[in-house]
Amino acid sequence: MNRPVYLDYNATTPVLPEVAETVRFCLTEEFGNPSSGHAYGLRAKEILEEARRALARLIAADSEEILFVSGGTEANNLALFGTVLRRERGHVLISKIEHPSVLEPALRLLEMGYAVDFLPVDGKGYVDPEEVRRRLRPETVLVSVMLANNETGAIQPVAEIAKVCREAEVLFHTDAAQAVGKIPVSVKEIGCDLLTIAGHKMYAPKGIGALYIRKGVELSRILFGAGQERGLRPGTEPMALIAGLGKAAEVAASDLREEAEREKYLRERLWEGLNEIYPKTIRHGDPELTLPNTLSVSFPGLSAAEVLSRARGICASTGSACHDRAEAISHVLSAMGVPPEVARGTIRFSLGRFTTLEDIDRALEILREGI
């Protein structure tokens, strides 16, 4: 029996073999506590810092600006709460299409008495930097706009937004969980103050991620304990997971542009095939301003959930995996003003390093039957 064609890399990526080997080695050989002063601890500390350097190189940061956390959700929570809770009052500005790990902290801040505004997006899912400028207030503390959307793959104009924030002396955070490892990301070119990384979106294990914190930016703690990770993320570091993330960063840096072009070619092959099968297919977002691996399309008049249930040989998503299998319209498509009958037929296909041309052709055969 053929294995299903996996086209859900935005939900999670498989762990690369070289990453798995690095994790295994640390679990069995280099198991020391990096806080220990003996030989095992010193070696663990060396591995920890090498992983920090590898991740920093990938995003053009300094290694001391990288803070290891459990994943994208913790990084986003620390970015928002760590920034805003330093003040008794303040205003936060986020986009309407953020991941729940940004939306939910923002709503919690609203409940706590802070002011929160939600930036609209246009019909293709993009934030207008000038709208950010218009909505800034004297008391604005933080602006958070994701680098690339997890559902549509839309790459936001974060450098322009960061410039607006810098001119107003407001901190800017971007959730780059879906972008790092897929497209070139430079914190210097963006000009952001905080940036979120999730390991399991870039072929590292689940349960590890990082928050870039620009030098000079101070955050309040949301966890309390010992002094690991500058006291902002106390607890003994998960060395094997951190080493795996470092190795994944090395792999991504080695062929980032070439792999992006390969996946973009396969994505367009999929799009052309879907158009032939169902000429009424609608594409969300601008192909030139979208992650090279992501294709969000709608089959108007059809139910995406029903199409996928019939196309059993394909693993894809009717929205983001965080609320998959629900018939409700995703908040992202709703913010874009997508009509309900179009949103209901939307499927997100996301490709990755192990996707082949044969996979795409086979997926199209299966979808032809499902549709």
Active site residues: 322
| Residue 64: C-alpha distances to residues 215, 242, 335 (Å) | 8, 15, 37
- How many residues are listed for the chain in this entry? 371
Contact of 244 with 236, CB cutoff 8 Å: no
Residue 227, token pair as written in the block: 């002094």
Confirm if 336 and 286 have CB atoms less than 8 A apart: no
For the sheet with 140-144, list strands across it.
66-69, 209-213, 194-198, 171-175, 140-144, 91-95, 115-119
Sign of CA dihedral 67, 226, 77, 169: negative
From 191, 89, 181, select the one nearest 145 (Cα to Cα). 191
What are the structure tokens assigned to 93, written together? 């500005």
Query: Closest Cα partner for 147 from 194, 107, 108?
Result: 194
Token pair belonging to 184 = 């070139």
Tokens of 25: 């080695």
Compute the distance between CA of residue 75 and CA of residue 213 in angstroms, rounded to an integer: 10
Residues 104, 121: Cα–Cα separation, whole Å: 19
The residues pairing with 307 across neighbouring beta strands, listed in sequence order, are: none
Beta bridge partners of 119: 95
